[in-house]
Structure 1
């Protein structure tokens, strides 16, 4: 699999190199120069998740991983279901929160960890990543206890739900968590600065597990096929997919699935009031604003890092501009959507509610709507209970961590302080 740096076209690497390095020169994203559509997509949908995913990933990756290795990686990574649940006659939810940390990022995080453990062959690696919520837990659990791999997770102090935080700040061992006194965009900026610092990048063998890492995206492509496999065959040519979007890795994976041949009619890029992409799709002007804190905090991103990958597919004509529409949902309508879902007998949380609201606004007669449920409602227990006025039970994964002490370290939004922390903690 040859990947090109979208900022420095001369830099071309294979999948293994892209997974190990994360970002390319000038913080460029690695991406295939061309995505070849697959044959017999209908036949693929008849296969079970793991078997189908091996075929999809073999198509994308080429022969870099042998059959035994790829089968082992996928089997170990995707050992939990993705379920499609009917919310109404016309609308379904793809539930991606049945993994160990109750969020969609378990798919990408576990696949990346398995890939990196195989590719690195015991060489020391430091994973440095920023999280606006679910990435932290998924990455922490995926890499926890893996020899010779340390993980440093930056998160915005006080801006993610307490239970989300407990899922990744209580592990210890090779998992190091840092609360930054700033928003997610600032955390992401610190990660990028570290990757531009040769002393840190080379001295700590730096890698990133954010959705900018190509392995994460490859894994996420697979659950879009799983969703279609569970939908009625008669509805598969009229499916509109609403994706709750923050850093836009999830939507990027969906677009890749469409380019591969999955017959998605169009996408809705559903954001909260941090609406850089919906405004861009309307006006053609890229104008990020200051990030605003919302109920759907994992989507509080004003400068989404994955958008250049979608832009590349648009520019190459692999997807047409009218096949992606943007929809911004404010706080009031987020709460309205949560209540509407509850009246339909479906308990949900703010991120999925944003996608549901955007879908109901855009869906046309004769179409089937699919919105992504990216996290278990209990991960946002406080906001869900406040909006709905009723208590919700905690699943076992959250009960286990609720009473544990967080082990994170507080650091100011200062790169020098972060660099010192990493070398003090991890330097040899």
Structure 2
């Protein structure tokens, strides 16, 4: 598998190199020139989640990993379900929150951890990642206790839910967490600066576990196929996919799935008030505003890092840009959507509610709507209870971590402070 740096086409790497590097020169993203469709989609969809995922990933990655190696990685990473639930007569949801940290990022985080552990041959690695919520927990749990791999997680102090925070700040060991006095974009900027700093990049053997890492992205492709395997064959070509979008890795993975032959009719990029992409799709002008804090905090991203991959797919003709709509949902409409879903007997958190409401705005007669449920509603317990006015029960993983002590360290929005703290922590 060859991947090209989207900012420096002269830099071409293998899958293994891309997983180890994370980012390319000039902070460029690695991405293939194209995708070869699968030969028999129906036969693929008839397989189990693990069998199908191994087949898909082997098809994309090629000979760098054997079928047995990929099967072993997948079996360890994807050992939980992703059910499709009916919400209304013509709208379904794909629940991606049945993994150990109750969020869709368990798929990418666990696949990356198993892959990196397999290909690193015991060499020291430092995973440096920023999180607006779920990435931190998924990455922390996926890598916790793996020999020779340290994880450094940056998160915006006071801007993610307390239970989200507890899931990754209480682990300790090889997991190091820093609360940054800034928003997610500030955290992500510090990550990018670190990768441009040779002393840090080479001295600490940096890698990133954000959705910019190709291994995480490819893992996410698999659950779109899992969703379609649960949809009636006669409805598969009618499916409109609504994706709650922050850093846009999820939508990129959905587009890769379509490029591989999954018959997705069209896409809806559902955002909150941080609506850079919906405005861009309407005006053609890329004009990020300052990031606005919302109740759907994992989507509080004004400069989505995966957007260049979507642009590349459209420019290369891999995906027809006309198949993508962008819809921004404000706070009031998000709360209305949560109440509407609750009245239909389905309890949802804000991110999925936004994707549901975006579907309502765009779904046409004869279409089947499918929106992604990216996190368990209990991860946003305070918000959900405040909006719905009813208590919700905590699942066991959240009960366990809620009473643990947080081990994070507060830092200013200053790269040099982060650099010093990283060397102090990781030199021990």
Determine if the TM-score, normalized by the shorter chain, exceeds 0.5. Answer: yes
1:7-406 to 2 correspondence within 5 Å? 7-406=7-406
Q: Distance in 2 between matches of 1:326 and 1:420?
A: 41
TM superposition shift of 1:34: 1.3
TM superposition shift of 1:225: 0.3
TM superposition shift of 1:177: 0.3
TM superposition shift of 1:68: 1.8
Q: Distance in 2 between matches of 1:229 and 1:34?
A: 24
TM superposition shift of 1:234: 1.3
Equivalent pairs, count: 428
SS of corresponding position for 2:372: strand
SS of corresponding position for 2:420: helix
Q: Distance in 2 between matches of 1:353 and 1:329?
A: 9
Select between 250-259 and 33-42 the one with higher mean Cα deviation.
33-42
Q: Deviations over 1:358-396 (max 9, x none)?
A: 001100000000000000000000000000000000000
Instruction: Name 1:408's counterpart in structure 2.
Output: 408
Q: Distance in 2 between matches of 1:352 and 1:82?
A: 15
SS of corresponding position for 2:146: coil
TM superposition shift of 1:427: 2.8
SS of corresponding position for 2:154: strand
Q: Distance in 2 between matches of 1:100 and 1:259?
A: 30
Q: Distance in 1 between matches of 2:232 and 2:319?
A: 24
Maintained 8 Å contact 1:127/1:207:
yes
SS of corresponding position for 1:62: helix
TM superposition shift of 1:233: 1.2
* TM-score computed with the length of structure 2 as normaliser: 1.00
Select between 391-400 and 65-74 the one with higher mean Cα deviation.
65-74
SS of corresponding position for 1:345: coil
Q: Please, which runs of 5 or more residues in structure 2 have no aligned partner? A: none
TM superposition shift of 1:250: 0.2
SS of corresponding position for 2:16: helix
TM superposition shift of 1:64: 0.5
TM superposition shift of 1:192: 0.1
TM superposition shift of 1:66: 1.3
Q: Deviations over 1:301-320 (max 9, x none)?
A: 00000000000000011111
Maintained 8 Å contact 1:200/1:419:
yes
Q: Deviations over 1:218-250 (max 9, x none)?
A: 000000000000011111010000000000000
CA RMSD, Structure 1 to Structure 2 (Å) = 0.5
* TM-score computed with the length of structure 1 as normaliser: 1.00
TM superposition shift of 1:159: 0.1
Q: Distance in 2 between matches of 1:116 and 1:427?
A: 22
Q: Distance in 2 between matches of 1:74 and 1:243?
A: 24
SS of corresponding position for 1:211: coil
Q: Please, which runs of 5 or more residues in structure 1 have no aligned partner? A: none
Maintained 8 Å contact 1:176/1:408:
yes
